[in-house]
Structure 1
Amino acid sequence: MPSSTTTRPALADLGPIQQLRAGRLARRLTQLGLGLVLYGISLAMIVRGALGSAPWDVLHQGLSARLSLSVGTLIIVVSVAVLALWIPLRQRPGLGTIANAVVVGVVVDVVLALVEPVGSLAWRVVLLAAGVLLNGAATALYIGAQLGPGPRDGLMTGLARRTGRSIRLVRTVLEVAVVLAGWALGGPLGLGTVLYALAIGPVAQAVLPWVTVRLPARPSASPSAPDPGDGSLGA
């Protein structure tokens, strides 16, 4: 793995316009799109595994059951609601933030429409494990494109900055809250929820050094950027 002090590209703290002007835009847009599509596919795999969903998806599926809307639609609706919370936190969305809010939900719905529920427990375990691994890699891809964090990531980093608390603590409080709310609505809490919470940070951290795009201008690394070691990465 590249050394974190010598060869690892830095995650930069850039405003929306700076993100677009930072260079290597074609490579970064391609990587962003690939990361978001794979992220949506991975979430659908975890849903079809039916062994418990990612923390925010427990909420999405709980709302879906109550409102008779698709999971993908609820991912988009919740993303927009979360983005509204950025306003008092003075967070700056980027192109990747807006794309994340829309693309992931659309891809989830498409994959769920194409892939039937799986009955075999063995295959459900395979879907869950593969989905979590793919999700971690996809998270690294879209964050490494340096075009803005996902809506939920930005909420976590914004709250951490405003309250002076660690990203790890803010992430834990938020995700416990959404899991409990989703579970109360009938969302699927289970082994997959625990596995996702434990594995997503380490997997993304392992992949991120290899896919973070080195920007020609070499902006300073942001002290408020999500640290994959905190497990704070995600849509």
Structure 2
Amino acid sequence: MKQFLIRFLRLILGLFLYSLGIVVTMNAHIGYAPWDAFHVGLGKATGMSIGTASIITGLVIGIIAIVLGEKLGLGTILNMVLIGVFLDMIMAFHIIPVLNNMFLGIIMLVAGLFIIALASYFYIGSAFGAGPRDSLMVALTRKTGLPIGVCRGSIELIAALVGWILGGMLGIGTVISAMVIGFCVQTTFKLLKFDATAVNHETLDATFKMVISIKKELFNRKEVTENQVNSPR
């Protein structure tokens, strides 16, 4: 039970840091990352918040991934919902300043990418399942037989273009995000001695069985304690 709780807290921390990293990169104000451009563009086109746009996008992509044969985990579900919730919460408090300087914006953008890399360490390390966008990438790779880099790049390109058409901001930050995020993730994982490929992700049904098992364990402990208290001395 303790191990499960630690993993769950690690997942929540990872999702919060991921949202924080997104806001930092956006507020660098030199161009959004592809999916951020899509979420902002969708928000502008529909009048919904960026967080809500992220949630709806995640749900739609998650459904597509399921149809394509991918199994979802608790982390996938919470990724769909909590990143959007945390995004709106962080932006509502205005704790991250919006910059209007190219040089400082680049520094802030890279800092945000490292925050996202650290978030990935916590989120992936919880082993509760990949996010919906990652699941779609894997599903397309399996279905098409194309290299995973091609599928990932194609998805990012489409997201960026649609986001730009809808009003999301593209710029030098978009290019930097695409080129530097891999370096940030690799460097962070290396420093923390973390091998993402060694993580065996838990499916949603396995997590559900684990929760049922923990509830039974807690019930049995409570019953034993009550018997000890009520037993005659």
Residues 157 and 167, structure 1, Cα contact 8 Å, conserved in 2: yes
Offset of 1:129 from its aligned partner? 2.0
| The 10-residue stretch of structure 1 (203-212 or 44-53) with the greater mean CA deviation from structure 2 | 203-212
Change over 3 Å in CA distance of 1:219–1:68 after alignment to 2: closer
* Residues 26-41 of structure 1 mapped to structure 2, 5 A cutoff: 26-41=5-20
User: Which residue matches 1:3?
Assistant: none
* Residues 34-113 of structure 1 mapped to structure 2, 5 A cutoff: 34-113=13-92
Residues 143 and 212, structure 1, Cα contact 8 Å, conserved in 2: no
Residues 31 and 174, structure 2, Cα contact 8 Å, conserved in 1: yes
Q: Secondary structure at the match of 2:14?
A: helix
Residues 140 and 205, structure 1, Cα contact 8 Å, conserved in 2: no
Residues 4-26 of structure 1: per-residue CA shift (max 9 Å, x gap): xxxxxxxxxxxxxxxxx9x9322
Count of aligned positions: 197
**Alignment match of 1:130 (pick from 101, 104, 111):** 111
Change over 3 Å in CA distance of 1:125–1:70 after alignment to 2: same
Q: Which structure is higher in helix share?
A: 2
Root-mean-square deviation (CA), in Å?
Answer: 2.4
CA distance in structure 1 between the aligned counterparts of 2:26 and 2:199, rounded to whole angstroms: 38
| The 10-residue stretch of structure 1 (43-52 or 107-116) with the greater mean CA deviation from structure 2 | 107-116
Q: Does residue 1:149 correspond to 2:130, yes or no?
A: yes
What amino acid is the match of 2:180? A
Residues 60-111 of structure 1: per-residue CA shift (max 9 Å, x gap): 1111111111111100010001011012211111010011111111111111
Residues 30 and 102, structure 2, Cα contact 8 Å, conserved in 1: no
User: Which residue matches 1:169?
Assistant: 150
Residues 164-190 of structure 1: per-residue CA shift (max 9 Å, x gap): 111101001111111111111111111
Gaps of 5+ in 1: 1-20, 222-235
TM superposition score normalised by structure 1: 0.76
Change over 3 Å in CA distance of 1:143–1:211 after alignment to 2: farther
Offset of 1:137 from its aligned partner? 1.6
Offset of 1:122 from its aligned partner? 4.9
| The 10-residue stretch of structure 1 (133-142 or 118-127) with the greater mean CA deviation from structure 2 | 118-127
Q: Secondary structure at the match of 1:24?
A: helix
CA distance in structure 2 between the aligned counterparts of 1:70 and 1:91, rounded to whole angstroms: 28
CA distance in structure 1 between the aligned counterparts of 2:136 and 2:53, rounded to whole angstroms: 18
**Alignment match of 2:189 (pick from 208, 230, 233):** 208
Segments ≥4 residues shifted beyond 2 Å: 116-127, 205-214, 218-221
Gaps of 5+ in 2: 202-233
User: Which residue matches 1:226?
Assistant: none
User: Which residue matches 1:16?
Assistant: none
Residues 36-68 of structure 1: per-residue CA shift (max 9 Å, x gap): 000001101111111111111111111111111
**Identity, % of aligned pairs?**
35
What amino acid is the match of 1:49? A
CA distance in structure 2 between the aligned counterparts of 1:120 and 1:206, rounded to whole angstroms: 26
Larger Rg: 2
